[in-house]
A and B are shown apart, each in its own frame.
Chain A
């Protein structure tokens, strides 16, 4: 299948995609790297035309030593970790439930998958107003019905609320992938284990869970990459206030709100490094799959 002619045709046909992505990656990355070593405050009169001052690793040091850095790292970790735990655990349970025979499987599947298709701004707004509004939200009604004082969700339990919203959006993704993985489990294996006298919990721990381990890893890695850059949900609900400022949002504020491009770019480089660490693990798995 490979003659010189077809190989050179292949190179030509691959070129547009490769060149575009190379440009898309390298150009902004180089610029971010460049800005991260410069003092660049457009509001204070710095501009590219007049040249920027080289400040070495100043921005990197300042970004890390700023009082908002560690809280933002903590927020990011709690948010990503919380969503991961919720979606993976509930996802496994839900996948196992949906794998059982019951009436209306198709419809329930559709109901469960639906939140994934709701655009992030819509889900954030719907949750913020119609559910978490302390006066008119459904949750407030519910609390009052039980005689409790409505919770000020987005200010008193802001991080938990955002975790709830994001988990709701990503639970379908985890469920769908885990369900696909469960369905690929050979039922003879389970029957063999049953014949060997393994009770249900043992079958879960020793057969189902190991079988799912690869899918779980993939869910964790892919979600991590997306969750690290969660933006719209915070932008729409709290705007980064009440302890919901993640690393991504902090960088966004540095660049857009305080217009400190140098500092924001240094933060951006940190974010890129962080994402790449996760990405390497994901790519190992995907790469192995390519050889198979």
Chain B
């Protein structure tokens, strides 16, 4: 079991309020991602749940039981840190065994769980090495192994992939997702990378300045961002925002259209501009179009084979059914 509820939780450092009153429930078995730009309070929120920081006011419930003042060691949660935080003076085996040793689990049981975790994480050959002798990805797996063996109510991940190189990151992302499928344990995952959020989450919590901007499934957020911030944050490349006449014509202060929802052509389309930069990724091509009179730059995603170049004049056609409309306050107009 691992349902975590935050009720009216606030956090201040001195006179600075980093988390204004906040309510949130993470259901048992859910993969919940906190995402937001750096300094948005997502890590603080995770540390509040972990018990590494005190809440200033409000309550934290774990499985319905009051846990606001429970010390971290007694909350039954496991955490994977950004720096992995492995114990450098212990072998991999001892690292993984440490939480079980603290919980006084019998030796045979410890051994059994270590073997199982090592098998699942491909660490069997490394059990007697020190963390210093492992690669970044292996260290990450040890940190996860250390979290698994204590069979926690929930896993907390604090930007666990940000120290890995791009290729490893994709691999670990999959491994963590698979782990969640297998264990069905609640996971709370903090990241600033919206791609990680989109690909892994059951539920995404978008935070800005300690506020929850929107909570929902990845596709909810993609399809119906509640405001300009979420609209701009979720999706890559970023959504184009257009103000002025074009927006007013659609009854909004601002309209948003995602790059993948704009068609390009050489001769026809309501908007026209000049390609300033084209980025060829192979599978896709991104065009940055200027001089449309709508916004400084409009980003468009086209098929990888489309070959416009700098200076080419092109026409753009937005898909009207997926244009997002926002009012003066930046809120979505349904």
Contacts and interface: CB of A to CB of B under 8 A. Distances in A.
B53 A2 contact: yes
A204 B124 CA distance: 57
B52 interface: yes
Interface of B is mostly: loop
A3 B55 CA distance: 9
Interface string B257-286: 000000000000000000000000000000
A46 to B, nearest CB: 55
B44 to A, nearest CB: 12
A4 B54 contact: yes
A12 interface: no
A101 to B, nearest CB: 31
B51 interface: yes
A148 interface: no
A2 B54 CA distance: 8
Interface in A1-35: 1-5
A6 to B, nearest CB: 9
Interface in B23-58: 51-54
B67 to A, nearest CB: 13
B237 interface: no
A250 B53 CA distance: 56
Q: Which of A3, A4, A5 has the most CB of B within 10 A?
A: A3
B45 to A, nearest CB: 15
B251 interface: no
A3 B13 CA distance: 11
B71 interface: yes
A4 B71 CA distance: 10
Contacts of A4: 54
Interface residues of A, number: 5
B29 to A, nearest CB: 28
A3 B52 CA distance: 6
B71 A1 contact: no
A4 B52 CA distance: 10
Contacts of B53: 1-3
Nearest to B70: A5
A1 B44 CA distance: 11
A2 B51 CA distance: 10
A5 B71 contact: yes
A24 to B, nearest CB: 33
Nearest to B48: A3
Interface in B298-319: none
Contacts of A3: 51-54, 71
Contacts of B54: 3-4
A49 B51 CA distance: 58
Contacts of A1: 52-53
A5 B71 CA distance: 8
B58 to A, nearest CB: 15
B119 to A, nearest CB: 34
Nearest to B55: A3
B319 to A, nearest CB: 49
Nearest to B13: A2
A53 to B, nearest CB: 54
A251 to B, nearest CB: 47
A1 B52 CA distance: 6
A291 B181 CA distance: 46
B142 to A, nearest CB: 22
Nearest to A3: B54
A79 to B, nearest CB: 48
B318 to A, nearest CB: 49
A169 to B, nearest CB: 38
Contacts of B52: 1, 3
A5 B52 CA distance: 10
A7 B296 CA distance: 52
Contacts of A2: 53
B18 to A, nearest CB: 13
A1 B85 CA distance: 14
A28 B100 CA distance: 51
Interface of A: 1-5
Given A3-B52, A3-B53, A4-B54, 7 more contacts: A1-B52, A1-B53, A2-B53, A3-B51, A3-B54, A3-B71, A5-B71
10 contacts: A1-B52, A1-B53, A2-B53, A3-B51, A3-B52, A3-B53, A3-B54, A3-B71, A4-B54, A5-B71
